[in-house]
Amino acid sequence: MATTNRRQKRKRGEPTPIELVNRKDDAQFIADHLHPRRKRPTPSAWSERPRLSEADLEVCLALVEETSRADYEPSSMGWKPAQKRAEMKSPELRYILVRDVMGAIRGFTSLMPTYEEGQPVVYCYEIHLKPDLQGGPLAFYRKRGFEKDEMSPEPRKLRFGKVFVPDYMIMSKGVVNEVDVDANVAS
């Protein structure tokens, strides 16, 4: 059985796994992490934040507004387009853009390799699709094996009996570390 919590000590000054992932160019990131078996990336649909044009960023922001503004407005964060734009410009984010045959952006997801409770993860910041693409072959989450994560905030009772209900959920999907599997098969 593969072990997923093996930690090796790093030498001082040695880059972390997340730093190494973030240094990869788009083609290498796709080959290593998105299509590891196929090794045939489609870089035209991929864009690291520094290479995402301002025009594409604005189209993505407009898509967030179209698909999610109604959910943001009553949330604890509210709808703040300038703040959302700044968040979307984070240099660690990588974008996968869904384009139609004419090249127009019809959806996107943003990903960020980072650490969550000390574990390296690829955090999916958001997924936005034009309404006609929602629920179709690009639908995610439960259909793709994602489940509510144990770190997802739960409703909690506040003073005076009021219940605070979080306005978001964290979902996750476990993956098998192929290196560990290969090592265990060989032994």
Give the CATH number, domain containing residue 41: 3.40.630.30
Whether residue 11 lies inside any domain: the answer is no
Per the structure, the complete domain to which residue 176 belongs is given by 151-182
pLDDT in tens, 35-70: 545 433 343 454 544 568 899 999 999 999 999 999
Q: Are 78 and 160 found together in one domain?
A: no
Query: pLDDT band at residue 5, thresholds of 50, 70 and 90?
Result: very low
pLDDT in tens, 135-166: 765 567 677 777 888 888 898 888 888 888 88
Q: Are 72 and 128 found together in one domain?
A: yes
Whether residue 43 lies inside any domain: the answer is yes
State how many domains the chain has.
2
User: What local confidence, expressed as pLDDT, does residue 39 receive?
Assistant: 39
Q: What is the mean pLDDT of the chain?
A: 76
Whether residue 77 lies inside any domain: the answer is yes
Q: Are 44 and 125 found together in one domain?
A: yes
Q: Are 76 and 157 found together in one domain?
A: no
129 contacts 107 by C-beta, under 8 angstroms? yes
Tell me, letter by letter, the H, E, C secondary structure of the chain. Answer: CCCCCCCCCCCCCCCCHHHHHHHCCHHHHHHHHHCCCCCCCCHHHEEEHHHCCHHHHHHHHHHHHHHHHHHHCCCCCCCCHHHHHHHHCCCCCEEEEEECCCCCEEEEEEEEEEEECCEEEEEEEEEEECHHHCCCCCCCHHHHCCEECCCCCCCEECHHHCEECCCCCCEECCCCCHHHHHHHHHC
Q: Are 89 and 163 found together in one domain?
A: no
Whether residue 68 lies inside any domain: the answer is yes
Q: Are 81 and 162 found together in one domain?
A: no
Task: Quote the tokens at residue 81.
Answer: 């387009």
Whether residue 74 lies inside any domain: the answer is yes
